[in-house]
Structure formats: C-alpha cells, structure tokens
Amino acid sequence: MFEVIILSFAFIFGIIARQLSLPPLVGFLTAGFALNFAGPYLGLPTEAGPLLEHLAHLGVLLLLFTIGLKLNLKNLVEPAVLGGAFIHLSITTFTFTAGFVVLMGLALDTAILLSIALSFSSTVLAAKVLEGKRELRALHGRLAIGILIIQDLVALAAISIYSGQSPSWWALWILALPLLRPVLYWLMSIAQHDEMLVLMGAVLAIAIGGMGFDVVGLSGEVGALVMGLLLAKHPRAQEMSKALWGLKEILLISFFLQIGMSGLPDANALIFAGVMAMLLPLKPRCFLPFWLYSRSAPVALFWGASASQPTASSA
C-alpha cells in the first residue's frame, strides 16, 4: 500500500509540475510535502522510512557514477574550476562567518562550520537539472559539475576535521584504482549489452564505489564518481550511461520524496529560505572574478548566459 500511494503522489505532482513548465523534481518535492501532511490520514508514516532513504541513496550513487562516465579528469584541475570553487568558498565563508559572529553572537568555530555548509550547492539537484537539459557536456555544465565536485571534497575534509574522524590507512588503496582500468575495460567487453551492462554499472557504483569507499572512511558518493571516471574514456561508456538511465531516474524519485517527507517547513525555516532566496542572485557573482573566467570561458558565462549559445560576434 505504501509504494502504491507514494508512486501515485509522485506521478500526479510530477505531471502538474510539467504542465506548469517546471522540472518534475519540483513536483516530486511537493509530493513529499503532501505525503508528510496527508500521511496520518492515509495511515502512512509522516517521515521517510529506511527503505525510501536507502533507495534515495542508491539513486544518488548511480547519478554520480553516470556523471563520472561523462567527465574528463582534466576538467577538475582547470583554473576556472579550482578558482571558482575556492574563491567562492572564501568569499561566502568570510561573509557569513562575520555575520554570524557579529549579528548572532555565535562562537567562531560554529560560525565557520555553518558558513562553510552554506557555501555548498546541491550536486544532485544541479546535475539533475543539467542532465535534463542535456547540458552536462556543455562548457558551463562541465565547469559547474567540476566546481560541485571540488565542493564535495571540501565538505568531506570539513566533516573529517570537525568530527575528529579521519579515513583509515586502508583508504590509500584508492591510489591503485587506475591500475584496475584494464580489468574494468575487459569486464566491459565481456558484459556486452543489455542487463549485464546495467548490472556491471550498478555493482561498480554501489558495491565498489559506494560501499568500498564507505568502509575505509571515505564518501561513497565520491567513490561512485571515481568509478565512473575510470571508465569515462571507454568507447562504450555512454552506452552504459544510457543503459542505467531508467534505473537511476526511478531511484532518484525517492531522493526528492524523502526530502519533502523529512518535515514541513515552519515559520523560521520559511523566513530563512526567503532571505536566502533574496541573496541568491549574488551567489553566482562570487564564484570567480571576471579575469579568471575569461581565460577559459566566454564572457557571457560570467553574466549568466549559456556558454553553449554563440554570441553575435562569434557567429
């Protein structure tokens, strides 16, 4: 009964969002809020259960794995990516830390941690939107994903520092992963097509990347991305990405539903969201100074125009 209701809510609100020219994920989030509100009347739990959260986690792993299949590792070390990530982190952290300390009287370490958290963007949401518009491989898409990956690595470091926990020495095994590329290529040839290709992608993303990295104290999401990067140059990498598309999309619905089911926003949350929404136009201007973008991207990219669209002068 539970799966019938949540799938029906997701479908109905997804259709409504589509009719309003909004991404379906907006409808899925709304469906989660609706389930949270109507759950007691339908005999459902008001919060996402362990099963839904687990499915959501699997969907995120598959999404990051398929992103890795479309990425070039060199994109992560471009000046625009590294500069964009760390300059934005510095500006945002300094601004929010000063505000938290002066206006709210928070302790410095707490203010810094909150400021770092507010500097991050959602990799899942951004990647889903870019993928839906088929812009992951566009210049602005590659830069955005590269910056988000750097943010994820910074988040992993911050969690390790503030929690006092660090990866085990076994984490050094990831340095040997490139040596496995010939084996992975051989397995790709054996898997051939259809269900075996899907199963191989799921094993690499969830078992080796997700669980393998978690066991040694690293982020499973980063692990799924790394496994995708190892296969990115294989001739059939895009075939694997397309084969996993349907499975990934279904599982990601659980991700957006469980966000909505985590609880209805109260007055304070709505006020905070409103303030953050008003500050949102300033966020892109903090990512990179003009001179750094101009070295590797069109001028229009800095001002928010799509890099994939030619300008009048370049046409």
User: 207-225, pLDDT tens digit by residue?
Assistant: 988 888 888 877 788 888 8
- Distance between CA atoms of 136 and 157, rounded to whole angstroms? 26
What pLDDT does residue 203 have? 92
- Distance between CA atoms of 48 and 256, rounded to whole angstroms? 11
User: 3-14, pLDDT tens digit by residue?
Assistant: 788 888 889 999
Q: What percent of the chain has pLDDT over 90?
A: 6
What is the DSSP secondary-structure string of 255-312? HHHHHHHT----HHHHHHHHHHHHHGGGTGGGS--HHHHHHHS-HHHHTT--TTSPPT
Residue 241 · residue 66 · CB < 8 Å? yes
What pLDDT does residue 1 have? 64
User: 119-163, pLDDT tens digit by residue?
Assistant: 887 777 788 778 777 777 777 787 888 888 888 778 777 766 666
